[in-house]
A = this chain, B = another copy of it.
Amino acid sequence: MLLHKGQKLLFIGDSITDCDRAKPAGEGLFGALGKGYVSIVDAMLQAVYPELGIRVVNQGISGNNVVDLQTRWQEDVLDHNPDWLSIMIGTNDVWRQYDTPFIKEWHVYADKYETTLRSLVERTKPKVGNLVLMTPFYLESNEQDAMRRTMDEYGAIVKKIAQETGTLFIDTQAAFNVVLKELYAATLAWDRVHPTQTGHVVLARAFLNKVGFEWNRS
A residues contacting B by CB (< 8 A) are 6, 27-29, 31, 33, 35, 39-40, 42-44, 46-48, 50-51, 53-55, 95, 98-103, 142, 144-147, 178-179, 181-184, 186-187, 190-192, 196-202, 205, 215-216, 218
Contacts and interface: CB of A to CB of B under 8 A. Distances in A.
Nearest to A203: B47
Which has the most chain B C-beta neighbours within 10 Å: A29, A199, A200? A29
B99 A53 contact: no
Contacts of A198: 42-43, 46-47
Nearest to A190: B191
A205 B27 contact: no
Contacts of A191: 186, 190-191
Which has the most chain B C-beta neighbours within 10 Å: A31, A98, A196? A196
Given A47-B201, A198-B43, A201-B43, A186 B147 contact: yes
A35 to B, nearest CB: 7
20 contacts: A27-B100, A28-B100, A29-B100, A42-B198, A43-B197, A44-B201, A46-B187, A50-B178, A95-B186, A98-B184, A98-B186, A99-B186, A99-B187, A101-B183, A101-B184, A101-B187, A142-B142, A186-B192, A215-B215, A216-B216
A44 B144 CA distance: 29
